[in-house]
Structure 1
Amino acid sequence: MRKYNSKFLVTILILCIVLIGCTGQSQKSGMTIEDLRKKYSDSIGYDLSEKIYTVNQTESINIKVNNNVIFEEYFESAHTPTPFIVYTDDKLESPLFVPFFESGEGGTIDIDPKEIIGESFLFQNKEYALSGSGTWGMYETLYLARYNDLKTGKKLDRPVVYIIDVKHGKEKLEAPVVTKRVTDDGNLRLDWKPVKGATGYWVIKQEKRLADSANGEFNLASRYHYSFIGTGTETNFISDKQSREFLNQKNYSADDLLDPQKASDVFVVEQINKAPVDYDIFVIAQNDRDKLSPPSNMIHASEFTGAMPYRIAFNTFMKDTDNRGFVLRDLKDIPTTVPVIMMDGSIRNFAIQYDLENDKFFFSENRNQNIYDLPIAIKNTPFTDTIKVYGASEDYEGIVEAKSKEVEGLSKTGVSTLVVDAEYKAKLKLDKSSVVNTVATVDYDYVAYSPLEEYIVTNMLAGNFNLDMAAFPEVKNKVVLSEAFRNVLENNPIIATIPGYYYSDSEKLLQISVSKTEFKKQKDLAEKVDQIIKSVIKEGMSDEEKSKAINDYLTEHTEYDYDALTALKNHEAVEQNPASTGAQISQAENDFMKYDESFKAMGVLMKGKGVCAGYADAYRILTGYAGLEVLTVRGDVPGGRHAWNLVYLDGKWLVVDVTWNDSDHNPNKYLHISQEDPTYVGDHFISADSISARDNYVFKK
């Protein structure tokens, strides 16, 4: 809603996790899981068998093959002596080992954990094994891929994957499920729920060293290098000065090329052109008997280093300010942004926060001129400095106030993190008549990237909350189910609430806990969307006209919820303060949750109030209903993290930032502009996840 007074517009971003996949559509009633898997077969790349190999820590898997069978090479550039490879991930990107078998001998292939090359890390001069030592190691779920027919030896058109369920005994610790965010001061924060029986948690860096050897065979002698990042008994981790050095992906950037000495240094130039260090981080729980849990969900460096500031890009800053930097001769030259080198080596502009309570204006007798000292903080970084203006005029207050308003336009910031964690129970004891095992028919436009996600989202939208999971053996891995739920909730804003959910592996049942009140809100939201579409979309409109009509509806009918932002900022400040008590944190969280709907399309469409996540989700829902191809993307603006949309018009992805379009000073500045537009390039920095979503989008039409 536009008003004729200055605004300090801010934005809230609900993380968008993006994977290559399909944009879901309504399905035929009673679609089977088998049909659903066929739908996603091309994007997944393999067939998942219902057969599960259950083993203890030292037990091998014995598989019979025909005598004298010779296996064809499956990989064009890599020969494996056996038709099997064991992977640690369901994307088959991280092989653990290749079971040895002499082709032509026949008999039995032993998939034996004794063949696993040991991997470990050091902590306080003690070595902890992650894999090897004659066991399956820390892993709870592994993936056995078969590439050949065991009778004929011929390679399969598609590999068949079997789940290996590794039992860890009575002392088993559950894998933590970790959420991430970059804090307001530019540090990485990880959060997870307590693991029963755990006495501490370790944050581990896993640097990838996996490569093919010269003869084309898999070289697993050194898959990863592990580094210890942090530890503690608390269920969170915040990077500090020491751990930030471990998280940095590049020590040099394009900023160094502006330094004449470094620009002529061959080593520096080589490092600048070198790809960033490829690594993941994960969390493991441990108890006082050194028992380790399986690893948490892996978090790749690209998911956070692009949002973590490393240092001020002083060479770039000096060039941009004609070598003035922070020492000026004119108040009008006071900068509003400063270039900062990020931990992935990129350079981004960050907004400046002026400290007007501690600025000083005085006359220097030695220099015989006025001097103005203006302390500054670079927003969303740990960096501070002081701007010094020589010969400043006495009307400095008006000039600095105008600069402050200029910064406000760049400072639409804020982050809200979605926490999703499955609770596993021995028994759910559900009424069997309420349990469904097919894909539901829905009228909603929805997004899913796997058979599991589509099964969950369609049934949630249809009001089916007790699901038979027998056809989804992959959910034995708690991390897999939690990630699927996270994707469903983040990519389908029509779902009005974040439910609790419970899974029983013995019964193969999933219970999604949604109250009748919350489900009614979802139905009411859908009806509201239908009303809006009928009122703003006219027959004969082009896609561009539909997009503009929806953008204009939202800017005219929505008011930014500043109280929600205040509650969020207070919650984060209390949570990050080491001196905060449990009661203070709980109170701040309760105060924040009062504004939960402002972070969703619900607040924008039903109450006319919201923050940027609500704006972006509302636009996405409405345009989806109108038949447009749309993405919600995340990234950064000079003032912090932000969410906006991309809409596909006339064969191109164009930018729509409804939150920033809702402005009295420059309305619709970000409506249907090119991603190469200097205005957009200069103040919007799209995340790696969102780039992947854009480049791998599967169109509905």
Structure 2
Amino acid sequence: MQYVDKHNKKLDKPKVTYFTVKDDVSLPAATGISAKIDDKGFLHVSWNPVQGASSYQVFLQARDLSEKGDGDTYVTTMRITKETKADFTEAESSADEESTFYQNKMFRSGILVDSSVNAENVYNNRLRAKGGDQSITEDMVADYVADRNTVKDVSIIVRAVKEASGDKKAEYAPLAYLNINSLLSQIPVASFTPESGYSKTTPMSHDTVKEHLTKYVSMADGSLTQGLKVLDFSKAQAYGNPDTQVITFWEVPYTVKGTILSGVVGFRHAEWSSLEDAQKSVDQATAQVVASWPKTSDLTPYTPDKNVDWHEVTKNNTVATSMPDIDKELPGIKVSGSNELVKYIAANLLVGHRVMDVSAYVNVNEADTLVQDAYREAVFQNPLLCGSQTSPDIHVDGSKVLLGVQYNSIVDELKTVDAFKKTRDGVMDLVHRYQKSAPSNPADQVKYYHDALANLVDYDYDAKESGRYIGQAVDSSVLVLLSADGKADMGNKTVCAGYAQAYQLLLQQAGIDSWYVVGLIGDTTGDSGSTRSHAWNLVNVGNGYKVVDVTWDDPEGEAPETDYLMADVNGSGEVGRRVYEDHYLPAGKLKTMVPESRIS
């Protein structure tokens, strides 16, 4: 409609021009899209033919529509086909090809808002909480709910395509969508074995038949289900002594009903008189389980421990959000670290905190690597912590990054927060007694603690030869001090890691600039290739960092030597050839202590 002429003069009456717009897209969008899940848990998609289409593209789209989400969209191509259907029946076998632990690979990632928030983790967190793990907070054991805040908005997209021909370019129809969130709870993605559950290495006994007959299955929406194992005794494999031809063990393959997930169950001959005996017991137990099984589905939803008061179990497990006041909470204890994140982690662990918010120190994109490295340094540069901690759990929730740490479940003196605190305080009592007799000059203190440690402990040659020191060294590094003082039962022997850790503790608490380091010794020039791992200390009392190696200065049954007491890091002998690894100190910090060319 035109109101003025070309000279911008108003017309007597508006001028109307009629026209039509030709649609550039000749292919219409696909219609009649439908999706269903078959009796093995696979997805099948179909749609009506589109006139003129030569092929179809099928996509999976997942949009984050959670309250904290930013609408981030994940899209992946599922199939390109000339048919008007797409069947997704891929599976993945284990390395030994005896078992299938995963199916529906395209639904194993990108579907959940946070991949760490799912029923699997809730189940394991509850097991750990009941076992006394004080790194578990109440929100970590809350019932998992598959809703918009945990599961993305998931759709199947179908697009018709007319292939290019001659001078004509390919044509693409508008996208056609089908939301499938209602189907995600029916799509199995993996078999799940709880941290204390049954596995291939846990043979079936008379007492555990029923427990062995069900298998946990993780679903695409993050929920957890149970499926019935169907054992095929006709394919059982017998194992035994080839010389005597005596059978000691059978393995029977199984599949999980409603899936293609599979595995094997073991039967020991010592427990079962014959394979027929085992089959009879399994058949009886299966009948009982089937009688109580819901009739609606092969996979039944599972939510563990409904009757447990998880608030009561976890009420003392809180999230630390600030740097503890060490001077107030632990008077006299000093904290080491090459940066503030390391010191923050170490201080919280020292006062007994097991979960802490580290968001102020890292962003979510680099959280995993930075927090792992900082945690490792915090533990090894603060020997009161070494041996009491296991691998950390790093949890990202939106913009929040949480670090959770479990206690060592093997060593009694370190199993719980109370045990850790008792051990910590016992070690510090010993340290304070040594401090009362120590000279005032830092350089003299370096030798004083060097000689005291060499006289207190001995090298554990048996542990080194047997290989036990690989796991023992960390655990004994602090406990060796308690043992030598008669307050623990680990003996007064250790290896290089124990020496270096104990020495690090003594100097650290004396206020001396000292660091625990590891690296390679021997022919580090590469001529003979004869090198081995070792641990020692770098110490600075005002004239640069020097090497102190109490291990090598402790001859068995003799007075301490001083060959490796404040040795020059660039010396002409063996010390000058040592290679430093950045396992427990960042390379940036090591560069201020030793030549960069000697850092691996």
Bigger Rg, structure 1 or 2: 2
Q: TM-score, normalised by structure 2?
A: 0.38
